[in-house]
C-alpha cells in the first residue's frame, strides 16, 4: 500500500542489504549541527546525524537528554536556533506541522494523544485527513465526491486495522481501551497517513513484556512490509538493540555515540553515561 | 448400497453435492467472511470456481489420488474450499488443530504422511517449516495470507492465489483427468480424515467415508428440517468433526450459507451481525455468555435490573418453553401470519410501555424510602391493565411483553435473534444455563456424539428437551448397552477405521459394526432418553466397593459459575478428594465487588474467602450427591484450589478442553498425596509451557480444606 512512497534507491552507491534481507538506501534526513535553546536552557547542543532510507534508527539516552526535543525538531514542531534539517536532499524551510505531515512524516506521542471519546476507527480516520479534499459541508451531506473519498480512505484504514490486528476494537471508544492497545491505535493512526518516515516516541513505555514483544513485532513488520523508515526513542535497551539498525546516543543535549548497536554497546562514553562513572 | 445411493439422490461425494448446489442455488451466498470490516460473500457459483481453480492448481503441483492434504488455520472460506479441492483431486483432506504446538503437529503430520500442507497464515507456515526438519515427506506448503511471507524461501512454498492462477492457466491440460478422478469418488471412498483430540494417549486418525458424512448430514438435516435459508457461523476448530459436519457436510447437503468471523477475537460481534439460524457451541461458550450477561446486569440501573429479574423469573417458570420456542419456519410467511406477528408485538409494546412507566414511578418512591439500598427491596410488578386477562392469555401477553422488553433485546445482543435450532454437546451443561437460554425462547438442545460416529449418536427432538439426558437415538442409529453400562452403537455414520492402526480399530469396532463409545450410561425408563454417567473406564470402585463416578461429581461442581474445572480422585481409595480451578471472570468480578485485592490468579485462588465460598459449593454438592444411593460414596471429603488453570499447552487438557486425568494425576502427585495424608497445606512447583513453546515454572503452597459430608445411611452431617 505504501509502495508509491518508496524512493528508488537502486542507483544509490551507499545502499546496502542487511543480514535479514532489507535494503537500506541513501540518506533521507540529514540533521546538521542542530542547536535548540529554550531561553537560557540548551536542550540540544550541536548535534548532527542522519537517517537513511528504510532503516530503523533509534535515539537513546538518559532522562532529560533531549531525545524528545530531537524528535520534535525532526517533526518540525520545534525550530532549532542553529543548524539545518535536510530532507530528501533539500534543505527544509521552517514549516507548519501539517506541511511536514504532507511531506510524509507521521509520529506517535510519548503520552498518548488520541481522542478518548471517539472510536478506534474514527481516531485512525483522522490520520487520513491529509488525503481528504472535500470540505466539512460536503462531508456532512456525504454525497458524491465526499462519499467516494471516505470509502477510499476507509479502505486504507481497514488495511491498517487488519495489519495491526485490532479488528475486535474497531468500534470501541478509545477511552475504554487498556494502555497497550491505545499505543497500538496511535501507531495505526500514524500508519494511516502512509508515512515514508515514521517517528515513534517511546512506543513501548509502560508496557509489559508481552505487549512489548507484540509492539516490536509490529514495528519490524511495518519497516519490512512497507519499507517505512522509522526513527524511535526508547528506554528499553534490549528492545533498542534488537530492533534498530543504527543508534544515536544523547546525554545532556550532546551526542555521545552513534553507530550500530554493537558499536554503541562498547562505547565507553555511553557506558559511563548509563552506569555513571567514578569520580576520583 | 443401491438404495442408499438413491436416497442420497446419487450425490455420493462432496464435489457432487457442490455441483448440484451450483445448479440449484448458483446465485445464493454460499460463503461469507468478514474482511476489512465488511462481509465479503461468495455465491455457490463463485465458490465452485475458486475450488475448481485451486484443485487444478494442486493437480499441476502433482497431487496424487489418495494423498493426504493437511489443512491448518482458522475458519476461512479458503480453507473449506481447500478441503473440497483436495477431494476433487481424489486426495483426502486432513484438517488439523490450528493452536496445536509443534510437537503435536509433528506427530499428526508424520502419521498421516501428508505431501501437501495448506496453511492459513505465517504462524502455521512457521510451525510446518519447523516440523519439516524432521519429517521429509512434506513437499509443498501452500499459504493463504501473504502477510510476512515475502522473505521466505519460495522453492517449496506457494501462495494460494498463485496456485489458483496456475490452475486457471492449466485447465485445458488437467480438466479431463480431474473429472475422471472426481467421477471415481463413490460412497465408500474416503471423504476426510479427522484426528481425535486424544483424551487418552496419542491422537488417532479417524477415516470417514462419503457414506458416513453424507448420510449423517442428510439424516440430521431432515431431523431438524434445515433448509437452504439457514445461516451458520463457522468458528469451531476445523479439525473437529462437528465443524466438518455443520460447515461442510450439512452446508453442502442443504445448500446453506457458512459465515466465517473476522478473527477469533471478533467472534461475538460477528455472531451478532450474522444472527445465525442454526448454531452449535460447547457448554463453555454458553456459560461465558451467561456470566457476562449477569455481570453487565449487575452494573445496570435499578429499573433495568428489577425488570430484567422480574421477567427472567417469569420466563423460567416454564412459560418460555410454552410460548417462546420458534415455530418451524414456512417458506414464506403468508398474510395471516404477518398480521398475527404485528398483532403479537403491538400488544407487547403497549403493555411494555405501561410496565416501564408504572415501575419507574414505584421505583421513585422506593428510592425515597430506601435510598441507595433500593435494589435489595424493590421488585418489579406487572402492569395493572394486565389484570384484565387471566390464566393462559395473561401468561401469553406477559411473555410477549417480556419479549419486547427483555428477551428480544437480550437475544439480539447475544446474537441469537434469529436462532431456530441450537445445539450443545461435548460436556454436561449446567441446569441453570440451559434453563436460561431456553426460557429466552432459544431452542437449545443437547446431542451426544463422537468423531467415530460422525457426530450423531443421540439427539433431543424438539419439545422433548431435558437438561440431564442427551436425547433419543439419532435417525439411523442403533444403541446397545452392555452389562457394565458401556454404550455401543451402530449407524451409517460409523467410521471406516483408524488410519494405520488396525489394533485400535479392532478393539473399538467389532465385525458387525458395533462401536464402543467408552461412555457408561443408561436409558431413562420414563421417556426413553439416554443418560450418560461417565467414561466407562473412569467409573471405578472405591476401597469399600462403592461406585466411583468422578465426572458425575465434577459436573455438579462445574455448574457453579465460580468453578471452571474440577478433578475428583478416589478410585480404589477410601474417600473422594478434588482439585478445583476457579473461574477468573466470575471470581474476579466477585472480588472486585467485595473489595478484595489480588495481584494474580494464584493469589486470588488462594484467598481465604474464595476458599470459603468454594467450600460452601463443595458441601452443597455433597448433599446432592448423597441423595443418590448408588453414588453417595463420591462425596468430597477434602479439596484444594489449584494455583494455575489446567491448560492444553501443558498437556493437562485436550485441545477440546477435556481434562487428561492421567497427566493431572502425574503432574500433581504431591498434592494428591497431601490430600490423602491429612496435611493442611502442601508446597508444589509446576512446570508450565507458554503459548510460544517456552517453559517456565510456578511455585505455590496450597491450603487443603476439609468439607462436610452427609452420612447417607443416617442422613446426618458428619465431619
Q: What is the pLDDT of residues A113-129, one digit of tens each?
A: 899 999 999 999 999 98
* A164: nearest Cα among A105, A109, A226: A226
Which of A9-18, B16-25, B44-53, B563-572 bottoms out in mean pLDDT, i.e. has the lowest?
A9-18
Contact B266/A at CB under 8 A: yes
Res B328: pLDDT: 64
pLDDT score of B329? 60
- The last residue of one of the domains, among B245, B277, B309, is B277
One domain for residues B368 and B503? no
Same domain? For B632 and B713 the reply is yes
For residue A167, give the nearest of B147, B150, B265 by CB distance.
B265
Angle (CA) B442-B447-B452 rounded to 5° is 145
The reported pLDDT for the residue numbered B710 is 83
Please tell me the predicted confidence (pLDDT) of residue B714.
43
Q: Which residues of chain A have pLDDT under 50?
A: 1-10
Residues B286 and B275: their CA atoms lie apart, in Å, by: 15
pLDDT in tens, B541-556: 888 878 788 888 888 8
Asked whether the beta carbons of residue B265 and residue A168 sit closer than 8 angstroms, the reply is yes
Query: Are B615 and B488 contained in the same domain?
Result: no
Instruction: Output the domain CATH number for residue B662.
Output: 3.30.300.30
pLDDT score, position B567: 92
Provide the number of CB pairs (under 8 Å) joining chain A to chain B.
Answer: 35
Q: Each residue of B210-260: pLDDT tens digit?
A: 999 999 999 999 999 898 989 999 999 999 999 999 999 999 999 999 999
Please, which pLDDT band fits residue B3 given cuts at 50, 70 and 90? very low
Answer with the one of B257, B277, B297 that is the final residue of a domain: B277
Residue B718 has what pLDDT? 37
Please report residues of B whose CB lies closer than 8 A to that of A155.
36
Residues in chain B within 8 Å Cβ distance of A120: none
Verify that B556 and B640 share a domain, yes or no: yes
Are A225 and B147 in contact (CB < 8 Å)?
yes
Neighbours of B83 (CB within 10 A): 25
H helices within A80-208, ranges in order?
97-102, 120-126, 136-141, 145-163, 179-192
pLDDT 10s digits, B477-517: 999 988 777 899 999 989 999 998 888 888 888 888 899 98
- Are B410 and B459 in a shared domain? no
pLDDT at A10: 46
Question: pLDDT tens across B445-472, in order?
Answer: 999 988 889 999 999 998 888 887 889 9
Same domain, B159 and B193: yes
pLDDT at B200: 61
User: Could you report the per-residue pLDDT of B318-371, keeping only the tens digit for each?
Assistant: 888 888 887 766 567 788 888 887 887 887 888 899 999 999 999 999 999 988
**Number of domains making up chain B:** 4
d(CA B624, CA B626): 5
**Looking at the structure, do residues B560 and B482 belong to the same domain, yes or no?**
no
Residues B314 and B270 in one domain: no
Give the pLDDT score at B685: 87
B263 neighbourhood in chain A, CB within 8 Å:
165, 167-168
Query: Are B295 and B435 in the same domain?
Result: no
Residues of A in contact with B151 (CB under 8 A): 20-21, 224
CATH number reported for the structural domain that contains residue B492 in this entry: 2.30.38.10
Q: Which of B529, B331, B348 is nearest to B441 (CA)?
A: B348
B270 and B382 in a single domain? The answer is no
CA dist B31 and B29 (Å) reads: 6
B150 touches A at CB < 8 Å: yes
Residue of A nearest to B267 (CA): A168
- Spatial neighbors of B503 by CB under 8 A, at least 6 apart, are none
Residues on chain B touching A221 (C-beta within 8 angstroms): 147-148
Q: What is the pLDDT of residue B696?
A: 84
- CB distance A168–B35 less than 8 Å? no
What CATH number is given to the structural domain containing B75?
Answer: 3.40.50.12780
| CA B343/CA B338 separation, integer angstroms | 9
pLDDT score recorded for residue A3: 44
Pick from B36, B148, B262: CB nearest A159: B36
Q: Among B400, B417, B434, where does a domain finish?
A: B417
Q: What is the mean pLDDT of residues B109-116?
A: 92
Owning domain of residue B682: 540-718
* A168 contact B CB<8A: yes
Question: Which one of A162, A168, A224 has the shortest CB-CB distance to B36?
Answer: A162
Average pLDDT (B404-417) is 92
Looking at the predicted structure, is the pLDDT value of residue B195 above 50?
yes
Q: Is B148 on the interface with A (CB under 8 A)?
A: yes
C-alpha cell at B22: 451450483
Mean pLDDT of B82-104: 92
Q: Looking at the structure, do residues B578 and B714 belong to the same domain, yes or no?
A: yes
In B, minimum Cα distance to A168 occurs at B266
Q: At B585, is the pLDDT very low, low, confident or very high (cuts 50, 70, 90)?
A: confident
> Which residues in chain B are closer than 8 Å to A154, comparing Cβ atoms?
37
Check whether residue B634 and residue B489 sit in a common domain. no
| pLDDT at residue B717, rounded to an integer | 39
Q: Which residues contact B214 (CB under 8 A, 6 or more apart)?
A: B8, B11, B12, B13, B14, B17, B187, B191, B249, B253
Task: State the cell numbers at B87.
Answer: 477431494
The complex's ipTM works out to 0.76
- What is the distance in angstroms between the Cα of A167 and the nearest Cα belonging to chain B? 7
Q: Are the C-beta atoms of residues B25 and B60 closer than 8 Å to each other?
A: no
Structure confidence at residue B633 as a pLDDT band (50, 70, 90): confident
CB contact under 8 A, A168 and B36: no
Domains in chain A and their CATH numbers? 3-104+194-275 (3.40.50.300), 117-193 (no CATH)
User: Which whole number is the average pLDDT over B416-434?
Assistant: 86
Provide the edge-to-edge strand list for the sheet that holds B695-706: B563-569, B576-582, B636-641, B695-706, B681-689
What is the predicted pLDDT for the residue at A153? 92
pLDDT of residue B4: 46
What residues 224-253 of chain A have any CB closer than 8 A to a CB of chain B? 224-225
Amino acid at each position: 500500500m505504501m509502495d508509491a512512497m518508496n524512493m528508488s534507491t537502486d542507483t544509490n552507491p551507499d545502499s546496502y542489504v542487511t543480514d535479514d534481507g532489507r535494503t537500506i538506501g541513501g540518506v533521507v534526513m540529514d540533521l546538521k549541527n542542530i542547536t535548540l535553546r529554550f531561553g537560557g536552557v540548551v536542550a540540544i547542543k550541536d548535534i548532527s546525524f542522519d537517517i537513511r532510507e528504510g532503516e530503523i534508527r533509534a535515539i537513546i539516552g538518559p532522562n532529560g537528554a533531549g531525545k524528545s526535543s530531537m524528535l520534535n525538531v525532526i517533526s518540525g514542531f520545534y525550530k532549532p536556533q542553529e543548524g539545518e534539517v535536510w530532507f530528501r536532499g533539500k534543505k527544509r524551510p521552517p514549516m507548519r506541522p501539517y506541511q511536514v505531515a504532507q511531506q510524509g512524516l507521521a509520529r506517535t506521542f510519548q503520552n498518548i494523544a488520541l481522542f478518548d471519546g471517539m472510536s478506534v476507527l474514527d481516531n485512525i480516520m483522522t490520520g487520513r485527513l491529509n488525503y481528504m479534499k472535500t470540505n466539512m459541508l460536503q462531508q456532512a451531506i456525504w454525497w458524491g465526491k465526499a462519499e467516494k473519498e471516505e470509502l477510499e480512505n476507509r479502505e486504507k484504514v481497514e488495511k491498517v486495522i487488519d495489519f495491526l490486528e485490532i479488528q475486535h476494537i474497531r468500534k470501541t471508544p478509545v477511552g475504554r481501551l487498556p494502555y497497550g492497545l491505545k499505543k497500538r491505535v496511535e501507531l495505526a493512526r500514524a500508519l494511516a497517513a502512509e508515512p515514508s518516515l515514521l517517528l515513534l516516541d517511546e512506543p513501548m513505555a509502560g508496557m509489559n513484556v508481552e505487549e512489548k514483544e507484540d509492539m516490536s513485532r509490529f514495528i519490524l513488520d511495518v519497516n519490512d512490509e512497507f519499507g517505512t523508515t522509522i526513527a524511535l526513542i526508547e528506554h528499553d535497551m534490549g528492545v533498542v538493540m534488537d530492533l534498530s539498525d543504527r543508534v544515536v546516543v544523547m546525554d545532556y543535549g550532546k551526542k555521545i555515540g552513534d553507530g550500530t548497536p554493537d558499536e554503541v554497546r562498547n562505547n565507553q562514553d555511553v557506558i559511563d553515561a548509563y552506569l555513571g562513572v567514578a569520580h576520583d | 448400497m443401491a438404495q442408499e445411493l438413491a436416497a442420497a439422490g446419487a450425490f455420493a461425494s462432496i464435489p457432487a453435492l457442490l455441483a448440484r448446489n451450483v445448479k440449484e442455488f448458483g446465485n445464493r451466498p454460499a460463503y461469507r467472511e468478514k474482511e476489512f470490516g465488511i462481509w465479503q460473500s461468495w455465491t455457490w457459483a463463485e465458490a465452485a470456481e475458486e475450488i475448481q481453480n485451486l484443485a487444478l492448481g494442486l493437480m499441476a503441483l502433482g497431487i496424487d489420488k489418495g494423498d493426504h492434504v493437511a489443512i491448518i488455520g482458522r475458519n476461512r472460506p479458503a480453507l473449506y474450499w481447500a478441503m473440497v479441492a483436495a477431494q476433487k483431486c481424489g486426495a483426502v483432506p486432513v484438517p488439523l488443530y490450528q493452536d496445536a504446538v509443534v510437537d503435536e503437529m509433528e506427530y499428526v503430520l508424520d502419521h498421516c504422511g501428508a505431501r501437501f500442507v495448506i496453511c492459513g497464515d505465517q504462524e502455521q507456515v512457521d510451525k510446518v517449516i519447523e516440523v519439516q526438519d524432521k519429517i521429509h515427506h512434506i513437499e509443498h506448503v501452500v499459504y493463504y495470507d501473504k502477510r510476512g511471507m515475502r522473505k521466505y524461501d519460495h522453492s517449496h512454498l506457494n501462495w494460494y492465489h498463485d496456485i489458483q492462477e496456475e490452475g486457471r492457466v492449466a485447465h485445458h491440460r488437467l480438466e479431463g483427468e480431474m473429472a475422471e478422478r472426481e467421477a471415481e469418488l463413490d460412497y465408500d471412498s474416503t471423504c476426510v480424515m479427522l484426528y481425535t483430540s486424544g483424551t487418552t494417549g496419542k491422537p488417532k486418525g479417524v477415516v470417514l467415508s462419503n457414506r458416513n458424512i453424507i448420510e449423517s448430514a442428510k439424516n440430521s438435516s431432515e431431523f431438524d428440517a434445515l433448509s437452504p435459508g439457514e445461516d451458520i457461523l463457522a468458528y469451531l476448530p476445523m479439525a473437529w468433526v462437528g465443524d466438518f459436519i455443520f460447515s461442510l457436510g450439512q452446508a453442502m447437503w442443504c445448500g446453506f450459507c457458512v459465515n466465517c468471523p473476522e478473527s477469533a477475537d471478533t467472534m461475538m460481534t460477528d455472531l451478532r451481525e450474522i444472527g445465525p439460524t442454526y448454531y452449535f457451541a460447547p457448554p463453555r461458550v454458553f456459560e461465558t455468555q451467561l456470566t457476562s450477561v449477569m455481570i453487565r446486569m449487575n452494573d445496570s440501573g435499578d429499573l433495568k435490573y428489577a425488570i430484567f429479574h422480574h421477567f427472567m423469573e417469569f420466563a423460567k417458570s416454564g412459560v418460555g418453553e410454552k410460548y417462546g420456542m420458534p415455530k418451524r419456519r414456512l417458506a414464506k410467511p403468508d398474510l395471516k401470519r404477518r398480521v398475527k406477528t404485528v398483532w403479537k408485538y403491538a400488544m407487547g409494546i403497549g403493555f411494555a410501555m405501561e410496565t416501564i412507566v408504572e415501575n419507574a414511578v414505584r421505583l421513585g418512591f422506593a428510592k425515597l424510602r430506601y435510598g441507595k439500598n433500593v435494589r435489595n427491596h424493590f421488585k418489579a410488578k406487572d402492569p395493572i391493565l394486565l389484570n384484565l386477562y387471566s390464566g393462559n392469555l395473561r401468561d401469553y401477553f406477559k411473555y410477549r411483553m417480556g419479549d419486547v422488553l427483555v428477551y428480544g433485546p437480550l437475544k439480539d445482543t447475544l446474537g441469537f435473534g434469529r436462532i431456530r435450532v441450537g445445539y450443545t454437546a461435548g460436556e454436561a451443561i449446567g441446569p441453570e444455563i440451559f434453563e436460561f437460554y431456553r426460557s429466552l425462547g432459544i431452542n437449545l438442545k443437547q446431542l451426544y456424539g463422537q468423531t467415530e460416529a460422525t457426530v450423531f449418536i443421540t439427539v433431543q427432538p424438539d419439545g422433548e428437551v431435558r437438561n440431564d439426558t442427551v436425547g433419543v437415538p439419532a435417525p439411523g442409529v442403533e444403541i446397545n448397552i452392555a452389562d457394565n453400562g458401556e454404550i455401543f452403537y451402530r449407524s451409517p455414520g460409523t467410521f471406516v477405521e483408524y488410519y494405520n492402526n488396525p489394533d485400535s480399530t479392532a478393539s473399538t469396532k467389532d465385525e458387525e459394526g458395533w462401536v464402543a463409545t467408552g461412555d457408561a450410561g443408561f436409558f431413562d425408563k420414563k421417556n426413553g432418553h439416554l443418560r450418560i454417567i461417565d467414561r466407562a473406564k473412569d467409573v471405578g470402585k472405591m476401597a469399600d466397593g462403592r461406585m466411583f463416578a468422578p465426572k458425575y461429581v465434577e459436573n455438579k461442581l462445574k455448574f457453579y459459575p465460580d468453578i471452571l474445572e474440577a478433578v475428583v480422585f478416589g478410585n480404589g481409595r477410601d474417600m473422594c478428594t478434588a482439585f478445583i480451578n476457579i473461574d477468573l471472570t466470575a471470581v474476579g468480578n466477585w472480588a472486585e465487588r467485595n473489595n478484595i485485592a489480588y495481584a494474580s490468579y494464584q493469589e486470588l485462588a488462594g484467598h481465604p474467602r474464595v476458599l470459603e465460598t468454594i467450600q460452601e459449593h463443595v458441601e452443597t454438592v455433597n448433599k446432592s450427591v448423597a441423595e443418590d444411593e448408588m453414588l453417595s460414596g463420591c462425596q468430597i471429603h477434602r479439596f484444594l484450589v489449584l494455583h494455575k488453570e489446567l491448560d492444553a499447552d501443558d498437556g493437562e487438557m485436550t485441545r477440546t478442553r477435556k481434562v487428561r486425568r492421567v497427566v493431572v494425576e502425574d503432574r500433581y502427585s504431591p498434592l494428591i498425596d497431601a490430600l490423602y495424608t491429612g496435611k493442611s497445606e502442601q508446597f508444589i512447583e509446576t512446570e508450565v509451557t507458554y503459548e510460544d513453546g517456552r517453559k517456565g515454572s510456578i511455585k505455590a503452597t496450597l491450603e487443603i480444606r476439609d468439607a462436610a459430608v452427609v452420612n447417607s445411611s443416617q442422613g446426618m452431617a458428619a465431619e
